[in-house]
Amino acid sequence: MNEQIIQAAQKTFIALKDPYGSVEKVYPNIIDAYRTEDSVHYVGVKNCGAISPAFIRGLRQKGFYLHTLDKASIAGRAVDLALKNPYTGLPMTGSSSGTAINVLLGINDIGIGTDGGGSVLAPAMAVNLIGFMSPLLDGARMQQQGQRVSTDGISFHASLGCMSKRLELIQQFLTASIPELDTETADRKTQVICHESDAHTLTACDVQYTDLSFRSGARDVLLQQLPHLLRDCDVLVSKEGPIDLEGFGDSVLGHHDARTQVLQARGNKGLIRVVNMAGATAITLPTEEFATGAVLICESTVPKIRHLLALASRMVLPSRTQFDRYFCSSEAYYPLGFGEA
């Protein structure tokens, strides 16, 4: 227990230092939860009015405690010019940008954000986290929010999503948030559609190959294709990325001319741009390649989400603990100076 409390305190030390400018506010007194709880999960929340305080308070009963309010990109932009990706020093992917950074730094165990056109999935992928979004998360409340219109002219309601380094923690969060999602799965194999080159990551599935080259096209094209594919399978798998490493995946810039459209396309955001707009559910799982992930997408029904999570649990995730000393160690942010050792 003492070690857990020390680690919790170190999370707050890093949050208060705010080395990447990703924190809006810190709630250090949640360490008091260890007086009565054996397990406390530190949560970061995107500082966004669409997220219900009642939803966040309700998570405390399941051991998830609000630790930080996280910065987000201005106007929900897909690239955050105010924050830097801690890996690359390039503009951080948005709009749940600070939330992703704060999970990467170990400030929070899990982060909660909103996703309209990839705003949870893309920043999670950009720093090699697991990301999940679904309109079933606090769905009734989110549907009460006003519709927004993308730069592409597409109307949508934002959905909630989460990100973490640990798949089991995301599954625990989902069980707490969507009671219908228990551990049961269907007896049959999961029916999967994927591009043939991506099939090597899949096990214990019935796989149907299809051409997913359209995923790099305009959003309206993707929205015509994706719903038809999802009806014919339990889960669609698409390998996407590297996110915002070789380009600038931002529609504000990309709508200017042919040259900026090329830069936007090189941001390598595919179907993650329309999962929410299509009313679907998705999880992104990092691969060995930087800022690249397997995107698992399904229709937003409990049986299909169960298939999605079962498939995700069978996929091998890379370990990047060798980088923790650069991002998650309090000693990195509070080093001993000359003569202090």
pLDDT tens digit string along 27-72? Answer: 999 999 999 998 899 999 999 999 999 999 999 999 999 999 999 9
pLDDT value, residue 122: 97
Q: Confirm whether 8 is domain-assigned.
A: yes
| Domain ranges, residue 279 | 2-177+187-316
Is residue 168 situated within a structural domain?
A: yes
Confidence of residue 176 (pLDDT cuts 50, 70, 90): very high
CB of 141 within 8 A of CB of 55? Answer: yes
Q: Helix/strand/coil (H, E, C) string of the chain?
A: CHHHHHHHHHHHHHHHHCCCCCEEEECHHHHHHHHCCCCCEEEEEECCCCCCHHHHHHHHHHCEEEEEEECCCHHHCCEEEEEECCCCCCEEECCCHHHHHHHHCCCCCEEEEEECCCCCHHHHHHCCCEEEEECCCCHHHHHCCCCEECCCCCEECCEEEEEECCHHHHHHHHHHHCCCCCCCCCCCCEEEEECHHHHHHCCCEEEEECCCHHHHCCHHHHHHHHHHHHHCCCEEEEEECCCCCCCCCCHHHHCCCHHHHHHHHCCCCCHHHCCCCCCEEEEEEECCCCCCEEEEEEECCHHHHHHHHHHHHHCCCCCCHHHHHHHCCHHHHCCCCCCCC
> At 320, is the pLDDT very low, low, confident or very high (cuts 50, 70, 90)?
confident
Asked if residues 163 and 129 have their Cβ atoms less than 8 Å apart, the reply is: yes
Whether residue 322 is contained in a domain is answered as no
> Which residues neighbour 153 within 8 Å (Cβ) at sequence distance 6 or greater?
none
Residue at 69 is within a domain: yes
Q: Which of 27, 81, 72, 15 shows the shortest CA–CA distance to 46?
A: 72
pLDDT at res. 149: 65
Residue 337 lies in a domain: no
**Within a domain: residue 167?**
yes
Name the maximum alpha-carbon separation found in the chain.
67
Tens of pLDDT, residue by residue over 287-298, are 999 999 999 999
How far apart CA 116 and CA 124 sit, in angstroms, is 14
Report the mean per-residue pLDDT for the chain.
91
Q: Would you place residue 8 in the very low, low, confident or very high pLDDT band (cuts 50, 70, 90)?
A: very high
Q: Is the pLDDT of residue 328 over 60?
A: yes
Q: Each residue of 122-146: pLDDT tens digit?
A: 999 999 999 999 999 998 899 887 7
Instruction: Check residue 106 and give its pLDDT.
Output: 97
Domains in the chain: how many in total?
1
CA distance 86 to 101: 7
Residue 50: predicted pLDDT: 93
Asked if residue 339 belongs to a domain, the reply is no
* Rounded Cα distance, 102 and 62, in Å: 21
Cβ neighbours for 87, distance < 8 A, ≥ 6 positions apart: 127, 128, 290, 291
Would you tell me the crossing angle of helices 302-314 and 167-177 to the nearest 10 degrees?
A: 160
What amino acid occupies position 90? L
Q: What is the per-residue pLDDT for 182?
A: 72
Closest Cα to residue 123, out of 84, 67, 149?
84
pLDDT at 21: 98
**Is 182 part of a structural domain of the chain?**
no
CATH of the domain at 239: 3.90.1300.10
Q: Is the pLDDT of residue 184 over 70?
A: no
**CA gap 229, 236 in Å, rounded:** 8
As given in the structure block, the two tokens for residue 333 are 């942010």
Confidence (pLDDT) at 1: 58
- From residue 93, how far is each of 106, 243, 267, 279, 293 by CA, in Å? 18, 8, 10, 22, 15
The answer to whether residues 123 and 149 touch, using CB atoms and an 8 Å cutoff, is no
